[in-house]
Chains A and B, each alone.
Chain A
Amino acid sequence: MASTLFRNVIQAQPLFLNSSALLRKMNGVLYCTMKSTSHSHTQTATEERQQQQQQKSPQKIKVPPQKQMNEVSRIGADYEAVIGIETHVQLSTLTKAFCSCPYSYGAQPNTCICPVCMGLPGALPVLNSKVIECAVKLALALNCRLSFSSKFDRKQYFYPDLPKGYQISQFDIPIATGGSIDLDLPLEFGGGHRRFGITRIHMEEDAGKLMHSGNGSYSQVDLNRAGVPLLEIVSEPDMRTGIEASEYAAELQRVVRYLGVSNGNMQEGSLRCDVNVSIRPIGQPEFGTKVEIKNLNSFSSINRAIDFEISRQVNLHSQGQQDSIVQETRLWEEGAQKTVTMRKKEGLADYRYFPEPDLPEVVLTKDYVDSVGKSLPELPEAKRRRYEEMGLSMQDVLFLANDIAVADFFDATIQKGADVKLAANWIMGDIAAYLKNEKLSIIDIKLVPHELAELIASIKSGTISGKIGKEILFELLAKGGTVKGLIEEKDLVQITDLGDIEKMVDKVIAENPKQLEQYRSGKTKLQGYFAGQVMKASKGKANPGILNKLLVEKLNAKV
């Protein structure tokens, strides 16, 4: 946990490029990813990382000049960064938090609204019980202590996207406190297991959106999002590097998607992170002045924004300008790849919190919490540990556990008795490639886990060749059906009978005397040509091992 800036700067930046090259070589599949369970386009952590790597290789992000970097890392070795994250997760409940309006992202402005979420005079909030269920699920998943009696409070400020002039939130008694989250860092960032503390989780409502006119002469308010339920998750200041922070966010995304409480989509704003960064000389127990960074729309921007901010603060501090590090909110500028001042904090904002009188206390019973607890699915961390115990490599583990739909598919396949490693390879290889090309999610394909298990078994038993297996796979992916049916229908059973194959070999040799002569005079490369001819004659069904063994014998036979 006490990783330092030194490690961060030195490792993260150069490794980025190296690792991507390495991965490409090792396994092309890693670039192919799966769409998440949601039908709209969503991006998973892995996917994003890969895109970013692809983009990076040609263009290259402005990496500080080598000389400067060395200097920073030398100074950086003396500093430690402290990072905490506030995450807002938009819940995918059917209706809003305090009224019965449905919410759908991208709907026409002001079409998902009612007197309650518009804040009309006389309208009152009534809590959607699904919000509590989601909060309890997440609290249990993040190992938090639940408040069996919590309350809502009003957070007051004026802004046109806030119809009531206050946000219904939870202040001094949040629904959950004191939890933790476990994650495995990707191998390209050095790997390793981490556990970060969760300070609190509370329920609140979202605000609407302002849309500014092109010339800035007026603004319009869209209240569709007003009143949509959010969970705010506050982490302990346990992270030390940009990658730790972005992986924390990615793991949180996985958890909410596993739980089904949110689509966790960053581009749609369903998962929003505000990051607090400070630095301190190593050994200093007090925290430095923290800076908040907003406008982080992807995991990689979290990573890069933090690393930029750490460098900026370390630079200032090491030059004796620590007073220039002020408590402020900075904006991440994706184009310029830097953070810029958004607003300086002039004292603490006074939100004049007080208990929301329109809503009764939120009381949880032990029975309720227990029943929610029983309904929880296997969570990403548990899944990863289980996959690891099955003997899968961390690379495979991270890939399979990243998306719950993929993990479910994998689990169902091996439950049907498929070989673990082979099932992983098929899913991460051809299936993933197909999904990427067709822009599909694994839940959209016609192939069912049972048939994948059957396919793997058929290859293993030698009923069909691996090559035929691939053909069948694509058939199954696109059209469905059963492995057995396709093998019968297309007469694809592998020919393993020595006599049958020998006949075909003899026939091909006899039909190609010219090539035989060339072969025997030393052009042994022609073996491939003969093998191809035999395979063609067998319609691809000849067992390649037997075929090649017989072919070599016959070609090299002393006449």
Chain B
Amino acid sequence: MLSTLHSPRSLSRFPLHLTSSVKPRAASASSLSDYPPSPPLPVAQSPGGAPASQILTIRRSLLSGSVTATQLAESYLSRLRLTEPQLNSFIHVSDSVLKSAQEIDDKIAKGGGEALGPLAGVMVGVKDNICTVDMPSTGGSRILENYRPPFDATAVKRLKEKGGIVVGKTNLDEFGMGSTTEGSGFQVTANPWDLGRVPGGSSGGSASAVSARQCVVSLGSDTGGSVRQPASFCGVVGLKPTYGRVSRFGLMAYASSLDVIGCLGTSVADVGIFLNAISGHDKFDATSSKQEVPDFESLFASINLLESKPLSGLKVGLIRETLDDGVDSGVKSAINAAVLHMQELGCIVNEVSLSSFSLGLPAYYILASSESSSNLSRYDGVRYGKQTVSDELNALYADSRASGFGPEVKMRILMGTYALSAGYYDAYYKRAQQVRTLIRESFKTALDSNDILISPAAPSVAYEMGEKKNDPLSMYAGDIMTVNVNLAGLPALVVPCGFVEGGPSGLPVGLQMIGAAFHEEKLLKIGHLFEQTLQGCRFVPPLVADDPTWE
């Protein structure tokens, strides 16, 4: 079973023209070749550079006794200690990681190895807007500084039950509002590929932590692209599940009708196994689905990579509107190369047009702001969080919120309050809802005639810190590739597909694959095949590749 995950490559199946078509990223190719050879355990990396499942490797190693959970944890923690001063991925690092690891080792020692959960010993980063009972959960906001929830989010509870070890709480744009993680109330996170660049956002901490191998997988949240865009910027795999697939209970709400908890990892298999662990109906979330959760793991095992055209006949729709002006040429080239690669795998790729695509961005910002203006009302300084001293009630509200919230959050509350106000509701909120219906229908039509749709995950690669900080509209525009998927509630997988020149060793580009509701299985299968057969790209950032502990 594991062998298929170690990509038994048949290099000859992929002719050279594929490599040449990826010429724009040739600059990075040389630096890639400078990478030290793949390290031995604890981190799996298959010889050809295709990512293997770290989760399965860890499980196998623990069961065989070749490594202990404590050794694994120490290795991750030491790398974290080394890289964290440059990256600032975490707002809070757990002090009970080794204790949790020891418990797993004790269990194995007592012969309970068979009862280990599927995530046993797996280091997990959790975005700080997801509640954890044993650590502060701030949502990246000063208004919740030092706030400790009395409960674990359902996703956290489930991953812990399955043996996962929460390493810490990852940085984010305040309450998920932003695309760079510069909007955090606490710190700015750096992109492991280039420390002067942003990791994307809002799940920037989760993406950079996984990219830098500070943890194996991480939880993010995706309201308008907050898992997928940072995954693309940091060269990791990011999955935004179907709305309702993962319980939102314990996720600090930004825009309830759009929010989903998503997964980030270094391989599609890891993301699939992780998704399986946290998915399923939850009686604490009325919007969580009762759809059965497939066992994605067996899916990866059954894929035959030796087949010459494993995706033969698969219909792929390339969304025409996502390759318009405004998309970086390097990104376009990488996507074109990915298209060729998919064709090599047997896919029939056609362009499809989603007429309402461009309406998604304004509709998204109206709906998300409207819902957030309501969802953030609870941060009033009365029961928890930051409270300023005031003689009078309205001043208490005003001062607590004025000093607790950052500028981006304030702006969105103002926009949302405006959009919901009497006399404006019909022109904004209601119209945006109508647009949402149109978008949902156009996706449905496109997915009726295609198995999946593809697009870039973002119109650019990671940009410089501060570049868009004072230009919110340009930052918002960067969400064009992803927001429509949230409006339609569909699942989407982002897989690194190439590089663009920049930084010390190139900057990764992510390919977004969009599926029909609850068809994560199909996305994971295609994504896995794509990733395992992609040639010449190795998505390990220089920060890690240069790090001696990585070996």
Contact = CB atoms under 8 A, between A and B. Distances in A.
A154 B255 CA distance: 14
A120 B384 contact: yes
B409 to A, nearest CB: 14
Interface in B149-192: 149-151, 153
A229 to B, nearest CB: 15
Interface string B255-285: 1110000000000000000000000000111
B377 A122 contact: no
Interface of B: 130-131, 137, 139, 144, 147, 149-151, 153, 248-253, 255-257, 283-287, 370-371, 373-374, 376-380, 382-384, 393, 397, 417, 420-422, 425, 429
A281 interface: no
23 contacts: A119-B383, A121-B253, A121-B378, A122-B130, A122-B137, A122-B151, A123-B249, A123-B250, A124-B287, A125-B286, A127-B286, A156-B374, A158-B380, A158-B397, A165-B374, A165-B376, A352-B417, A352-B420, A354-B425, A357-B256, A357-B257, A357-B371, A360-B286
A121 B370 contact: no
Contact of A124 (B255, B284, B397): B284
Interface of A: 115, 118-127, 154, 156, 158, 160, 163-166, 221, 348, 350, 352-354, 357-360
Nearest to A221: B382
Contacts of A358: 253, 256, 286-287
A121 B253 CA distance: 7
A357 B255 CA distance: 8
B393 A121 contact: no
Contacts, number: 101
Contacts of A350: 421-422
A165 B372 CA distance: 12
A122 B384 CA distance: 13
B421 A126 contact: no
Contacts of B251: 122
Given A120-B384, A122-B249, A350-B421, A158 B149 contact: no
A120 B393 CA distance: 20
A165 B385 CA distance: 15
B188 to A, nearest CB: 23
B383 A156 contact: no
A165 B131 CA distance: 20
Contacts of A156: 374, 377, 420
Nearest to B376: A165
A163 B375 CA distance: 11
A360 B287 contact: yes
Contact of B378 (A164, A353, A357): A164
A124 B256 CA distance: 10
B377 A121 contact: no
A357 B285 CA distance: 11
B393 A160 contact: yes
Contacts of A359: 286-287
A121 B284 CA distance: 14
Contacts of B130: 122
Given A352-B421, A357-B257, A360-B287, A122 B383 contact: no
A121 B397 CA distance: 17
Given A163-B378, A354-B374, A354-B425, A118 B153 contact: no
Nearest to A160: B382
Contacts of B286: 124-127, 358-360
Contacts of A115: 149-151
B489 to A, nearest CB: 12
B139 A121 contact: yes
B72 to A, nearest CB: 30
